[in-house]
Chains A and B, each alone.
Chain A
Amino acid sequence: MKMLADSLLELVRRTSAEIPDDVHQAILTALEREKHGTIAESAMRIIDQNIALAKQKSQPVCQDTGSIIFYVDCPLGFDQLGFEERAREAVTTATRKGYLRQNSVDSLTGRNDGTNVGPGSPAIHFHQHRLPEVKVRLILKGGGCENVGTQYSLPNTPLKANRDLDGCRKVILDAVLQAQGKGCGPGILGVCIGGDRATGYEHSKQQLLRRLDEPNPNPELNRLEQDIVETANKLGIGPMGFGGKTTLLGARIGMLNRLPASYFVSVSYMCWAYRRQGVRLAADGAIQEWLY
């Protein structure tokens, strides 16, 4: 089990220090698109330099190393409790080494014990599958972007949003408008149409596991994703909200069934510092393959 803790530590290190290729590509495209000599271009240039520097120095891309969210696909009979213990060990070690900031605070006392381990941290979601392999994916999601996430209940009268896809489009674009640059744009939206208040948010975050360069298999949602990105990028909010051409790098939209009485649209905003990585593990816990 020592091997598993080491693998998880390496997963945390790489997630914190390296932006995945699909996201970096979208950032480079955005950098080229910004007008020469603008503060938007200047911001995108600093972002690109920062990505290179973090990787080279093996240090956090962003000092807010965020909520630590593991998604584990595992076979039947997998020792989930053992995994949780190793994950907590890896997080504690990663914090001591400076891959993660001391980022977890007791909500009642305000105390930060400096370990990043406590109620709800790290968050671990298990999903069983009928395959022998174990896949562990990790998202580190900073507080600035988490704070601009939002949930709408349709119909929404001020936004003239009805209970249909056009209503969903209106509220998603409102979320982009309200976020401005506060979530460290250009951002990426994870959206869930439907579900309840808890599952909707949860599913919206899971959309962020999808690569940016792969289309949505659902044609309607694929069209909506493209429409949201194109429209958002006409608004002129731009990198960091400085004004400019790229407001969103992507939108990933999923759906869950809903109750007849409820129609939630949940939006999770991810900053450009989109820290997501994953590994496939061998039976002994060693890393076999990187997933992004």
Chain B
Amino acid sequence: MIELSTPLSEAAVRGLKVGDEAAITGMLYTGRDAVHKYLHEGGKLPDGVNLSGGVLYHCGPVVIKDAAGNWKCVAAGPTTSIREEPYQWQIIRDFGLRGVIGKGGMGDQTLGACREYGCVYLHAVGGAAQVLAECIQRVPTVHFMEQFGAPEAIWEFEVVRFPAIVTMDAHGNSLHKEVFAASQAELAKYV
């Protein structure tokens, strides 16, 4: 297990390779379909959100307010990342992201941006909303709640040892491409 702390340095990110299991401690920002489209179309990040060296989490969590009026995240697994493929490369480039967490992997444009700008794609276990929510110590605030709705908002999560696996590294390697090619070749034997 490789321990990572945010903000991530370029050197730390370039030291990672496909198949590495990581535990991330620090700050994660959620962002999914609406946020990606908004930033792609030239929208500005809200005050207080700095993605430089940061990690963006493709996630639409379930968050409720507890009795004391604090946000409490009750479920927070990853959402499918490929929907952000048209936008992700640009957000890596323009905002200095060092890590993207999601599920299902992404395409060549994102893989290219990871290599060029120094970023990795980390795969969290899809559906593991409780195990992952347990790693969230605090939810300091939320942005774009009114504009995009709760699942699509930018939530700030303070996390401790959030588990994810590097499936696309900064050297042009993608576990998703490898597994697709191998499984396609295997299937040809049986049909």
Which residues in A have some Cβ–Cβ distance to B below 8 Å? 39, 42-43, 46-47, 49-50, 53-54, 57, 59-65, 98, 100-103, 105, 110-112, 114, 142-144, 147, 159-160, 169-170, 173-174, 177, 180-182, 184, 231, 234-238, 240-243, 271-273
Docked pose: A112 CA to B130 CA in angstroms: 24
Q: Is A235 a contact partner of B186 (Cβ separation < 8 A)?
A: yes
Contact of B80 among A39, A46, A147, A173 (CB under 8 A): A147
Which chain B residues border A62 with CB–CB below 8 Å?
Answer: 75, 77, 126-129
Q: Is B75 a contact partner of A59 (Cβ separation < 8 A)?
A: yes
Q: Is B126 a contact partner of A101 (Cβ separation < 8 A)?
A: no
Q: Could you count the A-B residue pairs with CB atoms below 8 Å apart for me: how many are there?
A: 163
Docked pose: A143 CA to B127 CA in angstroms: 11
Interface string of B102-136 (1 = CB under 8 A from A): 01110000000000000000010111111101100
Shortest distance from the beta carbon of A263 to any chain B beta carbon, whole Å:
18
Q: Is B149 a contact partner of A111 (Cβ separation < 8 A)?
A: yes
The residue in chain B whose Cβ has the minimal distance to the Cβ of A58 is: B74
Q: Is A50 a contact partner of B104 (Cβ separation < 8 A)?
A: no
Q: Is B128 a contact partner of A231 (Cβ separation < 8 A)?
A: no
Contact of A180 among B60, B163, B180 (CB under 8 A): B180
Which chain B residues border A237 with CB–CB below 8 Å?
Answer: 179, 183
Q: Could you pull out 28 A-B pairs where Cβ atoms are within 8 angstroms?
A: A39-B165, A43-B165, A50-B127, A50-B129, A59-B75, A59-B129, A62-B126, A63-B60, A63-B75, A63-B129, A64-B77, A98-B75, A101-B61, A101-B62, A102-B150, A105-B149, A111-B149, A114-B150, A180-B183, A181-B104, A181-B126, A181-B179, A231-B187, A234-B186, A235-B183, A236-B182, A243-B175, A243-B178
Q: A62-B127, A184-B127, A235-B187 are in contact. Are A242 and B179 (CB under 8 A)?
A: yes
Q: Is B179 a contact partner of A272 (Cβ separation < 8 A)?
A: no
Docked pose: A111 CA to B150 CA in angstroms: 11
Q: Of residues B79, B82, B152, B190, which shows the largest number of chain A Cβ atoms within 10 Å of its Cβ?
A: B190
Q: Is B131 a contact partner of A46 (Cβ separation < 8 A)?
A: yes
Q: A50-B131, A59-B130, A98-B62 are in contact. Are A236 and B183 (CB under 8 A)?
A: yes
Q: Is B80 a contact partner of A182 (Cβ separation < 8 A)?
A: yes
Shortest distance from the beta carbon of B71 to any chain A beta carbon, whole Å:
12
Q: A63-B76, A144-B80, A235-B183 are in contact. Are A101 and B60 (CB under 8 A)?
A: yes
Docked pose: A65 CA to B21 CA in angstroms: 27
Interface string of B67-86 (1 = CB under 8 A from A): 00000001111011010000
The residue in chain A whose Cβ has the minimal distance to the Cβ of B72 is: A98
Which residues in B have some Cβ–Cβ distance to A below 8 Å? 19, 21, 34, 59-62, 64, 74-77, 79-80, 82, 103-105, 123, 125-131, 133-134, 149-152, 163, 165, 167, 175-176, 178-180, 182-184, 186-187, 190-191
Shortest distance from the beta carbon of A285 to any chain B beta carbon, whole Å:
27
Docked pose: A177 CA to B59 CA in angstroms: 25
Which chain B residues border A273 with CB–CB below 8 Å?
Answer: 127
Which chain B residues border A59 with CB–CB below 8 Å?
Answer: 62, 74-75, 129-130, 133
Shortest distance from the beta carbon of B171 to any chain A beta carbon, whole Å:
18
Which chain A residues border B64 with CB–CB below 8 Å?
Answer: 98
Q: Is A180 a contact partner of B176 (Cβ separation < 8 A)?
A: yes
Which chain A residues border B79 with CB–CB below 8 Å?
Answer: 64, 143-144
Q: A46-B163, A50-B131, A147-B80 are in contact. Are A173 and B191 (CB under 8 A)?
A: yes
Q: A182-B104, A237-B179 are in contact. Are A61 and B130 (CB under 8 A)?
A: yes
Shortest distance from the beta carbon of B92 to any chain A beta carbon, whole Å:
21
Q: Is the interface of A mostly helix, strand, loop or mixed?
A: loop
Shortest distance from the beta carbon of A99 to any chain B beta carbon, whole Å:
9
Q: Is A102 a contact partner of B149 (Cβ separation < 8 A)?
A: yes
Docked pose: A136 CA to B152 CA in angstroms: 31
Q: Is A236 a contact partner of B59 (Cβ separation < 8 A)?
A: no
The residue in chain B whose Cβ has the minimal distance to the Cβ of A42 is: B21
Which chain B residues border A111 with CB–CB below 8 Å?
Answer: 149
Q: Is A184 a contact partner of B149 (Cβ separation < 8 A)?
A: no
Q: A103-B151, A169-B191 are in contact. Are A98 and B60 (CB under 8 A)?
A: no
Docked pose: A241 CA to B18 CA in angstroms: 13
Which chain A residues border B60 with CB–CB below 8 Å?
Answer: 63-64, 101
Docked pose: A184 CA to B77 CA in angstroms: 11
Docked pose: A276 CA to B187 CA in angstroms: 31
Shortest distance from the beta carbon of A86 to any chain B beta carbon, whole Å:
23
Q: Is A173 a contact partner of B125 (Cβ separation < 8 A)?
A: no
Contacts A46-B131, A180-B176, A243-B175 known; 14 new A-B pairs at CB < 8 A: A43-B125, A46-B125, A49-B128, A59-B74, A60-B75, A63-B76, A102-B151, A103-B151, A105-B149, A112-B151, A180-B179, A180-B180, A184-B103, A241-B105
